[in-house]
Amino acid sequence: MGFFLEVLIGGLLAGVLYSLVALGFVLIFKASGVFNFAQGAMVLTAALALVRALDVFEQWHWPFGVALASAFVFAAVVMAIVAWVAERLVLRKLVNQEGIILFMATIGVTFFLEGMAQTVFGADVYPLNIGLPKDPLFILESLFDGGILVNELDIWAAVIAGLLVTGLALFFQRTRIGRALRAVADDHAAAQSVGIPLNQIWFIVWLVAGLVALVAGAVWGAKLGVQFSLSLLALKALPVLILGGFTSVPGAIIGGLVIGAGEKISEVFLGPSLGGGIEIWFAYVLALLFLLVRPQGMFGERIIERV
Amino acid sequence: MIYREAGQYKASYQADQAIFPIAQDRFVMLALLAIAFFVVPLVATEYVYRAVLIPTVILALAAIGLNVLMGYCGQVSLGSGAFMGVGAYAAYNLAIRLPFLNPFVCILLSGFVAAAVGLVFGIPSLRIKGFYLAVATLAAQFFGDWAFLRVKWITDYTPSGSVNAPPLQILGWDLSSPTANYLVSLAFAVMLALGVKNIVRGHIGRQWMAIRDMDIAAEIIGVRPMYAKLTAFAVSSFLIGVAGALWAFVYLGSWEPAAFDINRSFQLMFMVIIGSVLGAIFIVVMPIFLNQALPPLGAAFGWRISTATVSHFEAMIFGALIVFFLVVEPHGLARLWSIAKEKLRLWPFPH
């Protein structure tokens, strides 16, 4: 029982990190109807910008706090540039195209960003230290023999994810821009006709997604080191989206938790009998089975089609 | 003036329904085939065969297969790399388990195995579409990656996971020379392409296009979506599977699961966006060109360009081109080609 709980908690905490990546997808999809495959590449770009800037600032012997803050600002500026270029050169040119064409265009953006980020910032594995503790922690020792092992970093990641979601919820509900974003998400044409500038909104939403990518990149980078595999996180986040629905922020969170937990539990308890390594497709099959029952995901809006 | 059909009367239904009703088209196609089959073998060197011609022909076949699904039926698939893998491993298993079968028979049969697997993974398309389906086909890709690596029966329990193709021969003829490899691949590609062209012109092809253009409307006028979508998946997977088997048997010779990973899927999608055959040429030639051109170019500016940087540049160009083609002409080069044809028919007159 203790072992099961340990696996479950480990899975849930990993799921939080998937949710962080999935959140970026949901934001862009809600506001522009674009299924942004490039989210993973954005995580990679943000994390590489962050870690390389931090290295440089530390070489200049800036105090750690200042260096870290400046590196975050630098990475945010990089993400702003990415958002601006994406809006200007891709989205604006493809207005009114079908969703699937925009989707393929973002696959192109993915390759471009991956190549670009690695050319500019280098392609090695960079350890990232953002001052989060990494010690293993034993909890509930009174209940179980030897307690349950969790990583302190994962707990911090969960806290950060919680703060981020709260912040985004406030931003969407309470601010002028947030209201405009929701209006655009609801109906492009109607929003435009009441004077909401679409291009600006798209830039803002890509920027917000870029910042979410930065947070995800920082947390994942601190956990695994900043390396190319961060880009593949996007592929991990897709089943989360299917499960949670493309348009729902809570869906992304809960989907992430379900996938994270399901993945770890299946790997530990089912994997050995199947030859191991089933993590990578288990999430997809889970999501696929779910799709057959509810095509719009757990929290997605009902798809109604008219001729 | 040259491309004009005045005076070409069609006196029978057969002539009216021909694949290339215009004489100039027929002539150009025949000339291209003659060049590919007879002139190229006279001039090509072994390097050109191995590095350019053989991969181009096989990838073009795979892209034609994916185009059936993406271009004609409008179902985006990101699992095509895995279907190539299914073809390759099916051919391998047929060859080692039924040793009396000729390798080419194995290659053809492997297409049917891939088609069966394609049918299974096409089932979600009945419920979901668009990028939901694209994501669902990723499941096929990852499941394939895993199965090729972990299910040891597929690789016949070889310890390294790398397998070898049987020697290529037919009726005692040795077909392992580069020229023979090229001609074999070309023959497969041309025959299957001709078959697909005919399917696409027929009633199944019309149904696919109806589904692509608007599936609900198609359903209302009596196209069965299940039949149309699943046949598209099956035909597409068949072609991709045969291409995968050729890729493994004829081009690679010995291979590992990584030969059919997700990057292959993206490559195929890219080829379809550009236009199957042109895309294949592009995807084969671009890396060779960059590998040759970038290091000296960098040296001229005093930079040292490593192979890693070259591959990053490749990714950038690859990505930029996808976006470029989608922005300029979302319907691909085929559309540009048909516009050019319309213009040519009237040229030099404006109307």
Local confidence band at A112 (pLDDT 50, 70, 90 cut-offs): very high
Quick check: B114 and B56 in contact, CB under 8 A? Answer: no
- Identify any residues that bridge with A137 across adjacent strands, giving them in sequence order: A150
Tokens standing for residue A243 = 């499960």
For residue A108, give the nearest of B308, B312, B326 by CB distance.
B326
On chain A, the residues whose CB falls within 8 A of the CB of B317 are 115
Alpha-carbon gap, residue B293 to B176, rounded angstroms: 31
- Does B226 contact chain A (CB < 8 Å)? no
Local confidence band at B328 (pLDDT 50, 70, 90 cut-offs): confident
Q: Does residue B265 lie within any of the structural domains?
A: no
What are the tens digits of pLDDT across the range B214-244? 888 999 999 998 999 999 999 999 999 999 9
Q: Across the interface, do B145 and A280 touch by the CB < 8 Å criterion?
A: yes
Tokens standing for residue A10 = 């480990």
B227: containing domain: 21-258
Q: How many CB atoms lie within 10 A of CB B10?
A: 12
Local confidence band at A307 (pLDDT 50, 70, 90 cut-offs): low
* Residue to substitute from A288, A293, A303, A304, interface B, most B β-carbons within 10 A: A288
For residue A281, give the nearest of B143, B318, B322 by CB distance.
B143
Share the mean pLDDT of chain B. Answer: 86
User: Do residues B281 and B330 share a domain?
Assistant: yes
User: Do residues B244 and B299 share a domain?
Assistant: no
User: Do residues B312 and B187 share a domain?
Assistant: no
What are the tens digits of pLDDT across the range B17-63? 888 878 888 888 899 999 989 998 888 888 888 888 999 999 999 99
Determine the pLDDT at residue A143. Answer: 64
Residue of B nearest to A280 (CA): B142
- Does B258 contact chain A (CB < 8 Å)? no
Share the mean pLDDT of chain A. Answer: 82
Q: Return residues 50-109 of B near A (CB < 8 Å).
A: 74, 76
Which region among A136-150, B88-102, B150-164 has the lowest average model confidence (pLDDT)?
Answer: A136-150
Q: Does residue B264 lie within any of the structural domains?
A: no
Which string of DSSP letters, residue by residue, matches B22-77? SHHHHHHHHHHHHIIIIIHHHH--HHHIIIIIHHHHHHHHHHHHHHIIIIIS----
User: Do residues B68 and B183 share a domain?
Assistant: yes
Q: Return residues 213-272 of A near B (CB < 8 Å).
A: 235, 238-239, 241-242
Q: Does residue B173 lie within any of the structural domains?
A: yes
Determine the pLDDT at residue B89. Answer: 94
Element (H, E) at B164: strand B163-164
Alpha-carbon gap, residue B77 to B70, rounded angstroms: 7
User: Do residues B75 and B213 share a domain?
Assistant: yes
Local confidence band at B113 (pLDDT 50, 70, 90 cut-offs): very high
* Close Cβ partners of B248 (under 8 Å, ≥ 6 residues apart): B87, B88, B89, B91, B92, B165, B255, B259
* Residue to substitute from A28, A107, A124, A294, interface B, most B β-carbons within 10 A: A107
User: Do residues B317 and B179 share a domain?
Assistant: no
State how far residue A145 is from chain B, nearest Cα, in angstroms: 35
Amino acid at B83: F
User: Do residues B129 and B193 share a domain?
Assistant: yes
User: Do residues B228 and B325 share a domain?
Assistant: no
Tokens standing for residue B241 = 């599977």
Alpha-carbon gap, residue A152 to A240, rounded angstroms: 24
User: Do residues B221 and B315 share a domain?
Assistant: no
Q: Does residue B267 lie within any of the structural domains?
A: no
User: Do residues B294 and B246 share a domain?
Assistant: no
Q: Across the interface, do A275 and B151 touch by the CB < 8 Å criterion?
A: yes
Q: Across the interface, do B326 and A235 touch by the CB < 8 Å criterion?
A: no
Local confidence band at B112 (pLDDT 50, 70, 90 cut-offs): very high
Tokens standing for residue B47 = 């390097």
Q: Does residue B185 lie within any of the structural domains?
A: yes
Q: Does residue B142 lie within any of the structural domains?
A: yes
Q: Across the interface, do B127 and A105 touch by the CB < 8 Å criterion?
A: no
Q: Does residue B12 lie within any of the structural domains?
A: no
In total, the C-beta contacts within 8 angstroms joining chain A to chain B are: 136
Instruction: Quote the DSSP letter at residue A126.
Output: B
Determine the pLDDT at residue A306. Answer: 66
- Does B278 contact chain A (CB < 8 Å)? no
- Which is more confident, B179 or A246? B179
Amino acid at B257: P
Which string of DSSP letters, residue by residue, matches A94-123? GTT--HHHHHHHHHHHHHHHHHHHHHHH-S
Which region among A52-56, B161-165, B238-242 has the lowest average model confidence (pLDDT)?
Answer: B161-165
Q: Does residue B1 lie within any of the structural domains?
A: no
Max mean pLDDT among A153-162, A214-223, B232-241 falls in B232-241
User: Do residues B243 and B296 share a domain?
Assistant: no
pLDDT surpasses 80 at A140:
no
Nearest C-alpha neighbor of A184 from the set A28, A298, A25, A20 = A28
Mean pLDDT throughout B300-311? 77
Nearest C-alpha neighbor of B260 from the set B143, B168, B119 = B143
Determine the pLDDT at residue A147. Answer: 64
- Which is more confident, A299 or A42? A42
Q: How many CB atoms lie within 10 A of CB A129?
A: 13
Whose tokens are 């293993």? That residue is A136
On chain B, the residues whose CB falls within 8 A of the CB of A109 are 319, 323
Quick check: A268 and A7 in contact, CB under 8 A? Answer: yes
For residue B313, give the nearest of A89, A115, A278 by CB distance.
A115
Q: Across the interface, do A115 and B314 touch by the CB < 8 Å criterion?
A: yes
Alpha-carbon gap, residue B131 to B133, rounded angstroms: 5
Q: Across the interface, do B327 and A94 touch by the CB < 8 Å criterion?
A: yes
For residue A60, count CB atoms less than 10 angstroms from its CB and return exposed for 0-12, middle for 13-18, buried for 19 or more: exposed
Where are chain A's structural domains?
2-229
pTM of the model: 0.87
Alpha-carbon gap, residue A22 to A251, rounded angstroms: 9
For chain B, how many structural domains are there in total?
2
Alpha-carbon gap, residue B313 to B319, rounded angstroms: 10
What are the tens digits of pLDDT across the range A179-210? 888 888 777 788 888 988 888 888 888 898 89
Does the complex come out with an ipTM higher than 0.90?
no
Sign of torsion over alpha carbons B321, B131, A24, A32: positive
